[in-house]
Amino acid sequence: MTLENIIEMDKNFYVNIFGDRIPLAFNKGRGCYLTSVEGDEYLDFYGGVAVNSLGHAHPKFVSALKEQLDSLIHTSSTYYVENQALLAQKLSEISGLSKVVFANSGAEANEAALKMARLYFYRYSEPRRKVVTLTNSFHGRTFGTLAASGQNKFHTPFRPILQEFHYINPNDDEMLEEIDDCTAAVMIELVQGECGVRDLDAGYVKRLVERAKAFDTLVIVDEVQTGIARTGAWFAYQQYGIKPDIVTVAKGLGGGVPIGAAMVTDSVARMIKPGDHGSTFAGSPFACRAGLEVIKIIEEENLIDNVNVMGDKIREMLNSLGYRNVRGKGLMIGVPVDNSPLVCQMLRDNHVIVGNVGLDTLRLLPPLIVGEAEVERLGEALKMLS
């Protein structure tokens, strides 16, 4: 099918939730490269918005998923699921948290986290409904996670949004007073991806956690985008030296297969009873096999080391080209530029794909397998813009 055919069919039959998309469609991928339906190869420095953690068509990953397809795709939560149990154990090991609830996406994982925070206080003591999140945050597109997202542009079409969500400015100590003995949870992203890849200050994060603990308030860290080695550790909170009560992951965990998870401490897990939460598809044998293989390959190929080495090389390259105030951690990188949509288009014209946030930031989210050759290729494309 030609690109023109795909665009026409999309306009005729797909609800226009994405507007006019970039006029590209891909039908093949290998490593850090994508091939369009017109046969052109592109360097992928966006990774499906941090989803394709192993790049495209990683041979070990593909082989494992083919094997799983040949044996079992789905049963139901009525029965025990081997891969679900194995992945729950693995996530517990790498996170230091005790138990896991599976989901189908980041938004669903965050919904589960918010529900568990309410349930915790419903059963632990007096009910608490208040949840504190950060302005400019983004936690998903369900009603609950929209309300948790501290951006009015997401709220306006759906008002009245769910109540009892309170927003404080990142890195603003005075606003920490909003966390009090009525607060069930404070929910944060340690690197805010959807507002320009902005890291929270480490000292501020520790003070926020201390304030929350003083009131027995649960700390939820949304690692949907930062988790599973993206920032140079299994989870960004490990780089901040804090111990959350609930951590959510998705995106990179499945390597392209939809999966999410919320990991919790024992004290939170004890307050969750049968029937409080559930999902038909979450934690399927196939999705959990994908998660297991992603973690296994990251370990076998030392990809956390690669994330840190390549992240430094990208920053060195950007600095050598005159880019300043580069933000983010590991392979989650925000580059301040003028007219970022135009810069993205110019890079695409040179067959390099990056993302942008708003009008002033390039977002780089390459696969964790990215190497020196790909960094050099990006640098060459950027040089052509000047």
Residues 6 or more apart whose CB falls under 8 angstroms from that of 174 comprise none
What are the structure tokens assigned to 17, written together?
């939730």
End-to-end CA distance of the chain: 36
For the chain, what is the radius of gyration of the CA atoms? Answer: 21
Q: Which of 138, 154, 165, 286 is catalytic?
A: 138
Q: Is 165 designated active site?
A: no
CA-nearest of 335, 322, 332, 328 to 361 is 335
Mapping DSSP onto H, E and C, the string for the chain reads CCHHHHHHHHHHHCCCCCCCCCCCCEEEEEECEEEECCCCEEEECCHHHHCCCCCECCHHHHHHHHHHHHHCCCCCCCCCCHHHHHHHHHHHHHHCCCEEEEECCHHHHHHHHHHHHHHHHHHHCCCCCEEEEEECCCCCCCHHHHHHCECHHHHHHHCCCCCCEEEECCCCHHHHHHCCCCEEEEEECCEEHHHCCEECCHHHHHHHHHHHHHCCCEEEEECCCCCCCCCCCCCHHHHHCCCCCEEEECHHHCCCCCCEEEEECHHHHCCCCCCCCCCCCCCCHHHHHHHHHHHHHHHHCCHHHHHHHHHHHHHHHHHHCCCCCCEEECCEEEEECCCHHHHHHHHHHCCEECEEECCCEEEECCCCCCCHHHHHHHHHHHHCCC
Q: Which of 44, 245, 251, 286 is catalytic?
A: 251
Q: Which of 222, 245, 286, 329 is catalytic?
A: 222
Q: Is 281 designated active site?
A: no
Q: Is 251 designated active site?
A: yes
Maximum Cα–Cα distance across the chain: 61
Catalytic center residues = 138, 222, 251
